[in-house]
Amino acid sequence: MTESPVSIALSPAEWHLVSELRAVPSSILKEKALELFAAVLDFAREPRCAEVQADGVPCDTPRGDCEQCLHVDWMLETLRRRTLEGVEHPGAVR
């Protein structure tokens, strides 16, 4: 697959994400990060829970009280907080 340059206007925050991603050396870690980002962005774009609610209709909002929505919110908040605080993961090598 040949990659060609793309011309697009980005906000400063978007440019920061792109430049940080480009700074990561090619590796399995970068591949996993790309997969994670894609999954988070898919969820953000279509923030619906696949769980069927008591009335039989799938949840159509991420602000629901269902266990899955709350769990996703908790995971994202935990990842954000740990990253901002610089907390090492349990398997970190010093």
Tens-digit pLDDT profile for residues 3-24 = 788 899 999 999 998 899 899 9
* Residue with token string 């090619």: 26
Q: What is the torsional sign of CA 21, 22, 25, 27?
A: positive
- Integer CA distances (angstroms), 6 to 3, 16, 38, 94, in order: 9, 16, 19, 39
- Spatial distance between the Cα atoms of 48 and 57, rounded to a whole number of angstroms: 11
CA gap 49, 69 in Å, rounded: 7
Partners of residue 58 on adjacent β-strands: 52
Predicted structure pTM score: 0.57
- pLDDT tier for residue 26 given thresholds of 50, 70 and 90: very high
